[in-house]
Structure 1
Amino acid sequence: MPVRIIAAHAKITFFVVGIPVILTAGWSMGIAVGGAIGITLSSVLAVALLVVAGRTFRGAGEPILPPRAWWRLTAGPVAGFVVAVLFALSGIGSAISGVGSDGSAALTVWVVVFDFAVAAAYANSSTRLLSSAA
């Protein structure tokens, strides 16, 4: 039987533990070999965290056993739109402030593109959920 995370407290714990692990790994690599590598590692780990969450989390009333459609990231459209807005705001903030203490434009572009790509994935998921409900 596939692993499924259903309880809200387990979902919160997943991110409360996962996000510091990502930040610590990125920060450590940034210090050891450079900021761009740290940001890249953090991005790869963040994608892994989001993919695992999208594949294993289940909402109330959502079937537990079958896998979700490849595009589906949340149980319902509202949650996906909220996450999309948060990532879009993060991208906007990164674009305005610049990322990285060395002022690297490429690093800023990478972070902004990453944030907007994740926002687009969640917005797409929610839009498709709304379409399939109609």
Structure 2
Amino acid sequence: MVGALVLGFVIVSLLALTRLPDPIIGMVRFGIDLAAILLGTRIFRGRGEPIEPPRAPWRMTARPRLSQVLGILFAVFFVGGALGMLFDALGVASGPADTAGTTAGNVIALVELALIAALYLRSAARLRSLGVPPKEPKFTPTVRIRP
């Protein structure tokens, strides 16, 4: 998953060198980020989660608590970004004013954060309705290695 995000960073950086408009670069970044997160949720399984059957499309993590924490985290990022755009629009922001292209890129980033937050929060709600599976015991080796 980290490799997919690094590859996405490289692709977006190369696209920025071509002087494409910010909204187009933002949409490419949105697609790469979303694909990396969804790929990570399909590859990595929780302890005790069966490997063979494919994971349900709505399921982002193995436990509802983790889905809830990640959903809240992305929602906080969304609110922070939205407040930043609001303050910028009102002239309260101390930095230079955004151009129309970067504003469109910011809106795309906010949509991305909102979508990811919604996916994780939906996963938490559905996992909670299924009931929390019991925690698997931690692995204990059967052979002791002497130093």
Instruction: Please indicate, yes or no, whether the TM-score normalized by the shorter chain is above 0.5.
Output: yes
Unaligned runs of 5+ in 1: 1-13
Larger RCO (alpha carbons 8 Å, 6+ apart): 2
Aligned equivalent of 1:122: 120
| Identity, % of aligned positions | 29
Paired position in structure 2 for 1:68: 55
For residue 138 of structure 2, what is the aligned residue in structure 1? none
TM-score by length of 2: 0.71
Structure 1 position 92 matched with structure 2 position 79: yes
* Larger helix percent: 1
Higher mean alpha-carbon deviation, 80-89 vs 55-64, is at 80-89
| C-alpha RMSD over aligned residues | 2.2
- Native 8 Å contact 1:28 1:38 kept in 2: no
Q: What TM-score do you get using the length of structure 1 for normalisation?
A: 0.77
**How many aligned positions are there?**
120
Once the two structures are TM-superposed, the CA of residue 91 in structure 1 deviates from its matched residue by 1.4
Q: Which moved more, 1:41-50 or 1:108-117?
A: 108-117
Q: CA–CA distance in 1 between the matches of 2:44 and 2:98?
A: 36
Q: After superposing the two structures, state which structure 1 stretch, 101-110 or 48-57, moved more.
A: 101-110
The structure with the largest alpha-carbon Rg is: 2
Range 90-99 or range 119-128, more displaced: 90-99
Aligned 1:96-115 pairs, distance under 5 A: 96-98=83-85, 102-103=99-100, 104-115=102-113
For residue 99 of structure 2, what is the amino acid of its counterpart? D
